[in-house]
């Protein structure tokens, strides 16, 4: 079984590739991809029952990146996991490539839903979990559905229709994960040139109480603590018996891993310059990364 330090090293590698790929493309949603890196790596290398060689296996677990703008983070982890060659990351955001800025399920095997218009993933996840229980999972494999949500995204009303009905359908096979990184793209209220007050989109609201009140089981974790993420995902798996869907409320930091990207609204989207990339890679090397030249052709 993979160890926590091994997963942590993979997350550092994912952050390197996120930055290299954004640098190469000149674009990309760096902040939310880096806040989710530990969650994505733990899901894909430990939790999800998936086989990159058989992406349409009917018994597979389903993962929906509801905060679709963070496709960059997902692509990097899919490549590391073997869905496609890392060299293809060089095509990120190019016209006609399989790696569009937002994920396209018709192009890339392993993508379960085309996302990018925020707020829709939890509803689709409810449908997939319901479908599995109503017979799609005929072999009784216990296929589960996972949905990664953003905290800004959760301001979309459609999310709440899904949050309301999931417990009513007793979807114990559904795990939602909230990347609670404390930053959206815009402030609150929006409007002025400075895009408003950039506080936590949920400042002052008790999300744990709200979801619990709707009938979810809520497991709150440090979303950068691999052992805690693993424990929560493992516990969520057991809720198939209780009939309650689980929310893993992951407290994270947007842009996590590099001092100048961490918790700065500017790094919601953007590409590092040559100097910034070099500085970021040096920082990541200090936490066990392995900066090296790669297929993107960069030092």
Which range, of 45-53, 127-135, 150-158, 259-267, touches ligand TPP by CB under 6 A? 150-158
- Dihedral pair phi/psi, residue 222, rounded to 5°: -75, 115
Site for ligand TPP in 190-249 (CB under 6 A): none
Which range, of 14-22, 113-121, 258-266, 288-296, touches ligand TPP by CB under 6 A? 113-121
CB of 188 to Mg ion, least distance (A): 12
What string marks each residue from 265 to 284 as x (binds ligand TPP by CB under 6 A) or -? Answer: ---x----------------
Which range, of 46-54, 79-87, 151-159, 220-228, touches ligand TPP by CB under 6 A? 151-159
d(CA 115, CA 20): 23
Query: Judged by CB, which is closer to ligand TPP: 12, or 35?
Result: 35
Cα-to-chain-centroid distance, residue 28: 14
Taking CB under 5 A as the rule, does residue 272 contact Mg ion? no
The residue from 150, 172, 245, 289 that contacts Mg ion (CB under 5 A) is 150
Burial tier of 88 (Cβ tally within 10 Å: 0-12, 13-18, 19+): middle
Which range, of 51-59, 129-137, 145-153, 271-279, touches Mg ion by CB under 5 A? 145-153
Peptide bond into 69 cis (omega under 30): no
CB of 1 to ligand TPP, least distance (A): 29
For ligand TPP (CB under 6 A), the number of binding residues is 24
117 binds, among ligand TPP, Mg ion, none (CB under 5 to 8 A by kind): ligand TPP
The residue from 119, 152, 172, 245 that contacts Mg ion (CB under 5 A) is 152
Query: Judged by CB, which is closer to Mg ion: 47, or 151?
Result: 151
The residue from 13, 253, 254, 256 that contacts ligand TPP (CB under 6 A) is 254
Binding site for ligand TPP (CB under 6 A): 29, 31-32, 35, 67, 69-70, 116-119, 150-153, 156, 179, 181, 183-186, 254, 268
Binding site for Mg ion (CB under 5 A): 150-152, 181, 183
């Amino acid at each position: 079984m993979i160890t926590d330090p091994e997963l942590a090293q993979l997350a550092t590698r994912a952050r390197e590739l996120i930055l290299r790929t954004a640098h190469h493309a000149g674009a990309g949603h760096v902040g939310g991809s880096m806040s989710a890196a530990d969650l994505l790596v733990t899901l894909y290398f430990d939790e999800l029952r998936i086989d990159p060689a058989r992406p349409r296996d009917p018994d597979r677990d389903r993962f929906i990146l509801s905060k679709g703008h963070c496709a960059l983070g997902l692509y990097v982890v899919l490549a590391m996991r073997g869905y496609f060659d890392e060299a293809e990351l060089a095509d990120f955001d190019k016209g006609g490539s399989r790696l569009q800025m937002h994920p396209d399920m018709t192009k890339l095997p392993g993508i379960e839903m085309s996302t990018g218009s925020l707020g829709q993933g939890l509803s689709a996840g409810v449908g997939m979990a319901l479908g599995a229980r109503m017979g799609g999972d005929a072999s009784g494999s216990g296929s589960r559905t996972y949905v990664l949500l953003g905290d800004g995204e959760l301001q979309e009303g459609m999310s709440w229709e899904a949050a309301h009905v999931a417990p009513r359908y007793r979807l114990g096979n559904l795990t939602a994960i909230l990347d609670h990184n404390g930053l959206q793209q815009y402030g609150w209220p929006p409007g002025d040139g400075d895009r408003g007050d950039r506080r936590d989109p949920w400042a002052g609201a008790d999300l744990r109480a709200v979801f619990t009140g709707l009938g979810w089981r809520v497991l709150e974790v440090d979303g950068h603590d691999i052992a805690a993420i693993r424990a929560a995902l493992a516990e969520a798996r057991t809720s198939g018996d209780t009939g309650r869907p689980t929310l893993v409320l992951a407290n994270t930091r947007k842009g996590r891993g590099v001092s100048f990207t961490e918790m700065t609204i500017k790094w919601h989207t953007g590409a590092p310059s040559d100097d910034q990339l070099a500085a970021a890679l040096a920082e990541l090397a200090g936490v066990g990364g392995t900066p090296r030249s790669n297929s993107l052709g960069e030092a």
